[in-house]
Amino acid sequence: MGHVKIDIAKSDRSYAVKYALNDAAGVRSLLRDRHRISSARFRGDTAASDILIDLHSAINSAGLTERQTEAITWVYGADITQEKAAAIMEITQPTVKQSVDEAVEKIAAVYRRWDYGEVVCEHTEEGVAA
């Protein structure tokens, strides 16, 4: 006789996250979790790919200044603190925060123009399933 391995604790290690992309808080959360969503893309999750493609398009359509682009790249792309980003950019931490806040609001405005609502991703210990 054979046996089947069933992961009975899988549901305990996963949870759904909603990203309301028409406001700054939702965009900020999506940017923060971008790396986790990206890992799902490499496991064949096409919904995760779609979310990241739309995020990239929204960033490109937002009309960010060079400073805003650099600030979100350091803070969300490289996952460093605002203080470290400020040192690299040779500006103050409050200026980095202001640049990030303005960038996130501009990105949210793009999603509002697109009439984009929410996206839902399932996060697990192993990664994300959108």
Query: What per-residue confidence (pLDDT) applies to 124?
Result: 66
pLDDT of 15 > 60? The answer is no
Closest CA to 41 of 55, 32, 33, 52: 52
pLDDT at position 11 is: 46
Which residue matches tokens 């790919």? 49
Q: What is the pLDDT of residue 70?
A: 98
What confidence score (pLDDT) does residue 108 get?
A: 96
| pLDDT given for residue 45 in this prediction | 81
User: What number of CA atoms fall less than 13 Å from residue 91's CA on the CB side?
Assistant: 14
How many Å apart are CA 91 and CA 99, to the nearest integer? 11
At 105, which amino acid appears? E
Q: Could you tell me which of 45, 52, 62, 61 has the C-alpha nearest to residue 99?
A: 62
What would the pLDDT profile of 76-122 be if each residue is shown by its tens digit? 999 999 999 999 999 999 999 999 999 999 999 999 999 988 888 77
Domain spans of the chain, in order of start: 15-129
Q: Per residue in 37-91, pLDDT tens?
A: 888 887 778 888 899 999 999 999 999 999 999 999 999 999 999 999 999 999 9
Residue with tokens 């006789």: 1
More confident residue, 12 or 124: 124
pLDDT band of residue 9 (cuts 50, 70, 90) is very low
Q: Which CATH architecture is the domain 15-129 placed in?
A: Orthogonal Bundle (1.10)
Q: In this predicted structure, what is the pLDDT of residue 12?
A: 46
Tell whether the model's pLDDT for residue 33 goes beyond 80.
yes
